[in-house]
Amino acid sequence: MDAYELDTPCLLLDLGAVEHNSATMMASLAGSGVALRPHFKTPKCPQVARMQLDAGAIGITVAKLGEAEVLADAGLGPILMANQVVGPIKIARLMALLARGVDITIAVESEFNVRELSEGARLSGQRPAAVIEVDAGMSRCGTSTPAETVALARMLVDAGIDYRGIMGYEGHMYAQPDEEPRRQLIEAALGAVNRHAEALAEAGLPPRIVSTSGSASTGIASRTAGITELQAGTYIFHDSHHEGFTPGIYQYALTLLTTVVTVRDRYAVCDAGMKSLSSDHGPSFSRDGSFKAARLSEEHAHLTGPGIAALHPGQKVELVPSHGDTTLNLHDVYHVVRKGQVVDEWPILGARRFK
Ligand SMILES: Cc1ncc(COP(=O)(O)O)c(C=O)c1O
């Protein structure tokens, strides 16, 4: 079936582009000694995670326990949860995963986390594994000083928790549009992570895992001594926001197929609104860039640009999401496409698993 025969709005996932992006990332890391544990926050789909593991990823990174449960059900891992597990309900879910034999490492950033984790371990009889999240300059979560990190590592060891290392994320790089200052910011962030790692080594607690980085910093991180693995997520589907940070490297694997409803003098309207397309990273464009979804209401997009002159009602058009992750999170399935033909349908099992 031709993909343009599908009902709209719906997500198309171009398998050739996914394969290209996966191979490009793996080739960029070849010989660096730095491994990839791609972030599930982007694909949220076990079939894609399996492709990444088959391509050489050493495991999968997640943000949420719900995502970890999806992977566990699919038998995929080992899992690094680059986020904290907070509160007794979630601690119990983590212990349940461990009881199933799932290899999952979670991130702690405070004494509070370690206390909750050791209480969960005591109640369940499980032995959790943890890395310490360090603040690489993003001012989100994470320890601030190497001394704090060393103290937390000691606390983990004393509590009988399997201490595995540290993680940081230099996500503040995306606020810096210019390449040279962004390079300096990334290097400073990775340097900060490494200072925590060095302090741990000096204290006799060398980290086995030093995990960092998103899709726009893997090049620098893979050439930075001390970093052992990367958490990049977006590269696998790519989107127009990331194209600004990694120009010409990755292909757009994810598009939203929509139907033109009406065409007027200065604009057209299609059936993709904010319930099927996100706009938190700005407007989405057509594949050829000739028009954009300038304004979204719940079920409609206003299309503007020279390309609208060629549109007619009932026509199907593809939009490249400006932010793939927040767009796909609104959907339940990928219509998997190869050379324009629908070859499969993959459920987005991790969509909206935000607990
Ligand atoms: C902790 C963490 N690691 C890695 C990533 C992946 O970054 P990117 O989407 O740029 O690949 C994110 C993105 O939100 C993140 O929050």
Q: Where are the domains of the chain?
A: 3-11+248-347, 16-237
Q: Given this model, what pLDDT does residue 83 score?
A: 98
- Whether 40 lines ligand 1, by a CB cut-off of 6 Å, is no
Residue 43, pLDDT score:
98
CA distance 50 to 232: 16
Instruction: Give the chain's mean pLDDT.
Output: 98
Provide the pLDDT confidence category of residue 264 given band limits of 50, 70 and 90: very high
* Closest ligand 1 atom to 217 CA: 10
CB atoms within 10 A of CB 26: 14
pLDDT value of position 165: 98
What pLDDT does residue 324 have?
98
- What is the average pLDDT across 131-141? 97
The residues with which 345 forms a beta bridge, in sequence order, are 335
For the domain made up of 16-237, give the CATH fold. TIM Barrel (3.20.20)
Residue by residue, what is the 3-state secondary structure of 43-60?
CCCHHHHHHHHHCCCCCE
Closest ligand 1 atom to residue 82 Cα is 1
* Most ligand 1 atoms within 8 A of CB, residue of 21, 24, 25, 41 to mutate: 41
Cα 319 to ligand 1 centroid, rounded to whole Å:
23
The answer to whether the CB of 167 is under 6 A from ligand 1 is: no
CATH architecture of 3-11+248-347: Beta Barrel (2.40)
Average pLDDT rounded to a whole number, residues 326-333: 98
Pairing state between β 292-296 and 209-212: unpaired
Q: Is 168 a pocket residue for ligand 1 (Cβ < 6 Å)?
A: no
User: Which segments of 271-340 are extended strands (E)?
Assistant: 285-286, 292-296, 301-304, 316-320, 333-338
For ligand 1, atom 10, name the residue with the nearest CA.
214
Query: Ligand 1 pocket, 215 CB below 6 A?
Result: yes
**Banded model confidence at residue 40, pLDDT cuts 50, 70, 90:** very high
Give the DSSP H or E segment for 77. none
The whole-number pLDDT of residue 93 equals: 98
Residue 46: pLDDT band with limits 50, 70, 90: very high
Cα(171) to centroid of ligand 1, in Å?
Answer: 7
Confidence of residue 60 (pLDDT cuts 50, 70, 90): very high
Reported pTM: 0.97
What band does 355 get if pLDDT is binned at 50, 70 and 90? very high
Alpha carbon of 52 to ligand 1 centroid (Å): 16
